[in-house]
Amino acid sequence: MLSDEVVRHLKEVADLPDLAGTRYRILRRLGQGGMGSVYLAEDTELRREVALKALSIPDSSGDLASRLLVEARLLARLEHPNIVPIHDVGTLPDGRVYYVMTYVRGRRLDAWRHEAPARPVYLRLFQKVCDAVDFANARGIVHRDLKPENVMVGPFGEALVMDWGVAKVQDAAEERGVLVGTPAYMAPEQASGLTTLIDQRTDVYALGAILYYLLSGRPPYDAAAHAGALQQVVQGPPRPLRQIDPAIPRPLAAICARAMARLARDRYTTARELSEDIDRFLDRLPVYAHRETPLERSARFLDRNRVLVYLVGAYLLMRVIVVLVTAR
């Protein structure tokens, strides 16, 4: 009888890419995705570590191989500092397609967030993610599976958007109703299977969902809940951020809500617009997503002009003291 340990080992053995005849040598498995596994491998020619993604599941029709090739070619088009670069693509002796990319030594965004970085730090990092997505969107590519698990934070604080396996080239023909993505971060139109409505604003929604995670430390929808995240997305908006944590500033909560608007037309049109509103918040300027009350405006003015306020206050105090001394 095969023990549980042997079965577990055989699962890995059966999935292991046979890299005979290539310049790569498998070191260990890094992770798994919907289509394939990612391995840490050594490029024996250049003597450096790389990440190698190979199809795991069999491919009777060849369409998975095509998808992986599409992903590789998409990545090759996306030369951007916040998108993981691709180096090579090939076919294994058993017919499976693989591609090789830079091995990012870092942590996933969700793990990084658990270390409680300061708010301005994670907001600046979030803007880098927005930059990468905006760059891809501007070239007609929609990621469709943006989530904290698909963003790596490098050792120098760089953000790299990963896993473009279900990315879609806008206007490309696609089967209607095919559901791809991760429910907790999916836009309503995506969760409803309305694939024809998917465009860059679908990515803007997912960026809003990532911002929700960064601000609250939890995904917008609970995947383990009874109704299921997909159904929750279709049914209505997530719990308001300030109900989870009243300390979250209203303008940030509003930016997040606007990015995650139920209707695409109510969202930021581009990831760049979203990033710019974050910029305004960080610079203590009014954000487009939130109409301030006079009190909020005053508070923001005082906060933004702290030095001036201190100087005026000190001057007025001095005048009062002078008046009091003179009156005596």
Partner 1 sequence: MRQVGPRRFPSDVAPTDAWYIDDVAFDDTDIGGGSARFPTTRVSAVLGAQSAEPEVRARSFGALVAAYWKPVYKHVRIRWKKSNEDAKDLTQAFFMRAMEKDFFDAYDKEKGRFRTFLRTCLDRFLSNEDKAEKRLKRGGGGAFLTLDFEGAEAEIESTPPRGDPEQSFDREWVRSLFGLAIEALRADCAARGKEVHFRLFERYDLDDSGGGRPTYAALASEFGLKTTDVTNHLAFARREFRRVLLQTLWELTAGDEEFRREARLLLGAEPEQPA
Minimum distance from CB of 30 to partner 1 (Å)? 13
What lies within 8 Å, CB to CB, of 294 at 6+ separation is none
13/325 with CB nearer partner 1: 13
Catalytic pick among 131, 145, 199, 203: 145
41/274 with CB nearer partner 1: 41
Tokens of 192: 């409803």
106/165 with CB nearer partner 1: 165
Instruction: Determine the Cα–Cα distance for residues 219 and 239; give it in Å rounded to an integer.
Output: 10
36/220 with CB nearer partner 1: 36
Minimum distance from CB of 44 to partner 1 (Å)? 14
21/155 with CB nearer partner 1: 21
Tokens of 316: 């007025």
Interface residue list for partner 1 (CB under 8 A):
1-7, 9-16, 18, 20-21, 32-37, 56-62, 65, 91, 93-97
Q: Does 145 qualify as catalytic in the annotation?
A: yes
Minimum distance from CB of 20 to partner 1 (Å)? 5
66/298 with CB nearer partner 1: 66
Minimum distance from CB of 97 to partner 1 (Å)? 7
Instruction: Determine the Cα–Cα distance for residues 270 and 199; give it in Å rounded to an integer.
Output: 10
The angle subtended at Cα 232 by Cα 200 and Cα 203, nearest 5°, is 10
Minimum distance from CB of 169 to partner 1 (Å)? 22
90/154 with CB nearer partner 1: 90
Instruction: Determine the Cα–Cα distance for residues 105 and 111; give it in Å rounded to an integer.
Output: 13
Minimum distance from CB of 216 to partner 1 (Å)? 25
113 in Cβ contact with 217 (< 8 Å)? yes
Minimum distance from CB of 302 to partner 1 (Å)? 51
Report, as residue numbers or ranges, the catalytic residues: 145
